[in-house]
Structure 1
Amino acid sequence: MKRNLLHILIAAALLQTACQKDLLEKGPLDAYTNESLWTSQAAATAALSGCYKDWETSFNIFYMDAVSDNSYSQWPWDNYQHLGNGTSSPADPQTVNKWDYTTIQRCNSFLENVDKVPMDEALKTRFKAEARFLRAYKYFNMSQLYGDVPLVIKTLTVQEANSVSRTPRADVRKFVADELTAVAQILPEKYEGSDVGRITKGAALSLKARMELYDKNYAACIDDCKKVMALGYSLYPSYTDLFRQAFKNNQEVILDVQYKANEKDNNNGDVGIMPSSSFGGWASLSPTQSLVDAYEMTNGKTIDDPASGYNDSNPFSNRDPRLAASIVYPGLKYENKFYDPISPKAADFYSEGNNSPTGYIEKKFTAFLSDYPDMWNTGLNIIVIRYAEILLTYAEAQIESGVIDNTVYAAIDAVRARAGMPLVDRTVYSDVTSLRNLIRRERRAELALEGLRWFDIQRWQIGTTVRSGTVYGTRLGTVDAVTGATVFTGDHVVADQRTFNPLRDYLWPVPQKERDINKNLAQNPGY
């Protein structure tokens, strides 16, 4: 993943040989040449599989919430901590580099060469649409994180790669929108058998709707959401099981990263990074008190509402069921024991070893560790887009357009009802301001720890409010090992201190090593 532009945008012949051999892992290093690769349908299929390799990873999805107020990454070498606390810099070796053209180059090479292949033309057209989507996805993500990025849609010589300049973000976004519109007309609505997991029409329309929401293009967003809503997706009945290995590829999944234990590279599929030491993990990611506090009470009121019934001495009682489905908190029974990060000398005490420094551990994707005989080698697919997001995206676009009708309430109600929460009180949430607050809170609860919160902070421009200051965790106290009864007697623990510069931190720094190679790459403001 961490390759610089020079290494990635290199001469076409070299890339088409070396890249394909590496990512396809097809025996000897000289198994394919550029001349032999494009001679059969089987070879074209293998080349397209190379485009799919690492187009997205579970590691990226898991860790992106650590850039937000939802989660804290305690190990700086995981390369997300500094982005989360505002201390990253262009030359920081512990800042993840997503200025990454690997997938883009593979797709460019594929699209330039696949027409040479004698194969079924309809299948070839679909293959090209899949590659175009994967390239568009990478450009969407990079333009979201860095703003202006070089828009490269052909293989480049070394000289070209070392002199390319940044394309205005608006032009990159137009390219992505045009590509997604085009491929949505080509891609099938669903696949069968071994093709399940490939890019679909729904994936193209959903990514386009996500981008349109982020760019405040609400009319287009609403239109694309309606198209997705007509494709037959539905909410999976169980919020907990939605993220379990046994129930993957269910009717709510629109786009995901496919994994298979022992076969697909599982270095990105590990779930052991989340549980703390007594469960065999490292607690690399720790939910924050801020996220815990965002969940409503079961009566639909926020915990700061005097009428909510919230009790600071019993803070997890009568809370939105998605809290217990997503986060392991003190006193919750998990893997046949009551989790205790707050009692001194407890195995999971927050300040020791590989334990969570906030006292909370991620449960989403790891609700049942027994699902995985080996936490470091799993077949768990990682969801990138699901139908609940589309419903909330539609509702938000309608609200921001000032169009509050029954469809808005119906979309939000469907998500809340599936979670076991009451329907929206229309007497309380009846105007744009109140509904805006509701939909933002609903997105946070529903999509927590799925890698989307930072993008919401970025587009709502709320970084100064939510991503600066102290990162708190649970209060200290005791947990009864037999009953799980929890008594809080101490203050909230402190995990980190964060700063946020609104003139800088809404975009990531262009990695200095890229600018050292290519002097035409300007840096983002403030870095």
Structure 2
Amino acid sequence: MMVALLLMSSCYDLDRYPFDRPNANNFFQTKEHADQAMMGVYSTMQYEAVFGMHFGIDCLGGIAMGYDNASYQSIQRGTYDVKNSYGANKFKYLYEGIARANIVLQNLHRCQMDEKLIERYKGEAKFLRALYYFSLLDFFGAVPVYDESVIVEKDYGNMLEPRTPADKVRTFILKDLDDAIEALSGEEWADSQKGRATAEAAMALKGKVLLFNKQYKEAAVCFENVVKSGKHALYPDYAGLFKPGGDESSEMVFAIQNMGGVGKDVGMPLTFYMGSRAAFGSDWNNVMAATSFVDSYEWKDGRPFDWEEVIPGFTTSDEIKNKTFRATLSQDKTKVKTYPEARRNY
């Protein structure tokens, strides 16, 4: 009797979707759903491993040092491998953005929207997908390519594609950007939609992809088209680009949007990493440009920069070197440490 009761109760199908929240059956029906899904594609840019921590790549060269983050220390030493969190997270989250773009492209046709608007949204999704693939290409070279023909929930177990050659990845990116340019041309976003992709942003990114591939003439044509659009121009106040409101300058073609603050959700963590406590109250305040990086800048007239022109004797005066060496506060920051007379020449 007990066995029969158990068999009868187990026949009821409990594998059902929740009815009080969006699910695969009731989502992608309205414009609001399309907007929500599209914002998910954009939000991938907020991950610090995608763009927010890109300054750490400088550890590969000679213009930065890996501070207390082990990932950057291993990059600096040349001992990093596939377990390095910076590289692993970059790979992971860029593909997350690509997967989100693919889902949008797969399902936009289900939404009750004007056909022209659907094409516009497809252009956005392809621009963002191209942006994420370009970042992968720039960082890793050849990478697997998955487009909207891949249904993750069905093909997950078989998503073991080998690396696609870099040239083919680049061709895929350029095709996405051409589609985005066509879909977004002549379209204008309302002020409330600031930060969404435009034809000019797609054209500029296409130029950058070509530039990185040393296709200089083709890249120049793309950049000239951006200028000819009349929507963008070099900003006369260079310092103003880095001040509040700089993201709305004529020079800004595409910018990641933030609501303010230094939080990692909708804020701008880069200000936390690179800023000062005087400005934000709490910061790492230990990420500084290497001297070699500062010295690489030129004077306005193109001459190589030389500290000797700013502070005579800066690099040659033993007196200045000694003062700099001994200008060290004690641990409690109440007095300057003294040095034994016998060690003054060391």
TM class by shorter chain equals 0.7 to 0.9
Question: Distance between the aligned counterparts of 2:52 and 2:30, measured in 1?
Answer: 38
Contact 1:203 1:254 in 2 (8 A): yes
Equivalent residue pairs, number:
299
Contact 2:235 2:249 in 1 (8 A): yes
Quick one: structure 1 residues 264 and 127, their matched pair in 2 at CA, closer, same or farther if it must change by over 3 Å? farther
Question: Distance between the aligned counterparts of 1:71 and 1:31, measured in 2?
Answer: 47
Q: Quick one: which of 161, 165, 170 aligns to 1:168?
A: 165
Quick one: structure 1 residues 341 and 38, their matched pair in 2 at CA, closer, same or farther if it must change by over 3 Å? farther
Question: Distance between the aligned counterparts of 1:96 and 1:285, measured in 2?
Answer: 22
SS in 1 for 2:272: coil
Q: Quick one: which of 80, 91, 105 aligns to 2:72?
A: 80
Q: Does 1:103 align with 2:97?
A: yes
Deviation at 1:283, TM superposition (A): 2.5
Task: Report the counterpart of residue 119 of structure 1 in structure 2.
Answer: 113
Deviation at 1:311, TM superposition (A): 4.5
Q: What do residues 483-516 of structure 1 show as CA deviations (whole Å, max 9, x unaligned)?
A: xxxxxx999xxxxxxxxxxxxxxxxxxxxxxxxx
Instruction: Report 1:45-194 matches (<5 A).
Output: 45-55=35-45, 57=47, 60-61=50-51, 63-68=53-58, 69-77=62-70, 79-93=71-85, 95-100=87-92, 101-153=95-147, 154-156=150-152, 157-161=155-159, 163-188=160-185, 190-194=188-192
Instruction: Report 1:306-321 matches (<5 A).
Output: 309=309, 311=311, 313=313
Deviation at 1:290, TM superposition (A): 0.8
Q: What do residues 386-428 of structure 1 show as CA deviations (whole Å, max 9, x unaligned)?
A: xxxxxxxxxxxxxxxxxxxxxxxxxxxxxxxxxxxxxxxxxxx
Instruction: Report 1:297-376 matches (<5 A).
Output: 297-303=299-305, 309=309, 311=311, 313=313, 343-345=327-329
Instruction: Report 1:471-490 matches (<5 A).
Output: none
SS in 1 for 2:248: coil
Contact 1:83 1:95 in 2 (8 A): no
Quick one: structure 1 residues 60 and 92, their matched pair in 2 at CA, closer, same or farther if it must change by over 3 Å? closer
Quick one: structure 1 residues 47 and 286, their matched pair in 2 at CA, closer, same or farther if it must change by over 3 Å? same
* Letter of the 2:294 counterpart: V
Question: Distance between the aligned counterparts of 1:58 and 1:42, measured in 2?
Answer: 27
Q: What do residues 46-92 of structure 1 show as CA deviations (whole Å, max 9, x unaligned)?
A: 11111111235566545323322333341225x33422442211233
SS in 2 for 1:71: coil
SS in 2 for 1:67: helix
Task: Report the counterpart of residue 209 of structure 1 in structure 2.
Answer: 207
Contact 1:73 1:284 in 2 (8 A): no
Structure with greater helix percent: 2
Which stretch shifts more, 85-94 or 101-110?
Answer: 85-94
SS in 1 for 2:274: coil
Question: Distance between the aligned counterparts of 2:237 and 2:328, measured in 1?
Answer: 36
Question: Distance between the aligned counterparts of 2:40 and 2:170, measured in 1?
Answer: 25
SS in 1 for 2:163: coil
Question: Distance between the aligned counterparts of 2:151 and 2:345, measured in 1?
Answer: 60
Question: Distance between the aligned counterparts of 1:282 and 1:103, measured in 2?
Answer: 28
TM-score for both structures, normalised by structure 2: 0.75
Q: What do residues 127-154 of structure 1 show as CA deviations (whole Å, max 9, x unaligned)?
A: 1110111111111111111111111002
Q: What do residues 301-359 of structure 1 show as CA deviations (whole Å, max 9, x unaligned)?
A: 10369xx94655358xxxxxxxxxxxxxxxxxxxxxxxx99831189x9xxxxxxxxxx
Structure 2 alignment gaps of length 5 or more:
1-16, 316-323, 334-343
Deviation at 1:253, TM superposition (A): 0.5
* Letter of the 1:271 counterpart: T
Contact 2:46 2:266 in 1 (8 A): no
Contact 2:203 2:222 in 1 (8 A): yes
Question: Distance between the aligned counterparts of 2:85 and 2:252, measured in 1?
Answer: 35
Question: Distance between the aligned counterparts of 1:490 and 1:60, measured in 2?
Answer: 48
Q: Quick one: which of 213, 223, 233 aligns to 1:225?
A: 223
**How well do the aligned residues superpose, as a CA RMSD in angstroms?**
3.4
Question: Distance between the aligned counterparts of 1:270 and 1:490, measured in 2?
Answer: 41
Deviation at 1:44, TM superposition (A): 1.2
Contact 2:276 2:282 in 1 (8 A): yes
Quick one: structure 1 residues 207 and 136, their matched pair in 2 at CA, closer, same or farther if it must change by over 3 Å? same
SS in 2 for 1:34: coil
Task: Report the counterpart of residue 269 of structure 2 in structure 1.
Answer: 269
Q: Percent identity?
A: 26
Deviation at 1:94, TM superposition (A): 6.1
SS in 2 for 1:97: helix
Deviation at 1:245, TM superposition (A): 2.3
Task: Report the counterpart of residue 290 of structure 1 in structure 2.
Answer: 292
Deviation at 1:109, TM superposition (A): 0.9
Contact 1:76 1:94 in 2 (8 A): no
Who wins on radius of gyration, i.e. which is larger? 2
Quick one: structure 1 residues 80 and 191, their matched pair in 2 at CA, closer, same or farther if it must change by over 3 Å? farther
Task: Report the counterpart of residue 283 of structure 2 in structure 1.
Answer: 281
Deviation at 1:298, TM superposition (A): 4.3
* Letter of the 1:204 counterpart: A
Question: Distance between the aligned counterparts of 1:94 and 1:264, measured in 2?
Answer: 16
Contact 2:49 2:89 in 1 (8 A): no
Contact 2:258 2:267 in 1 (8 A): no
SS in 1 for 2:126: helix
Quick one: structure 1 residues 243 and 273, their matched pair in 2 at CA, closer, same or farther if it must change by over 3 Å? same
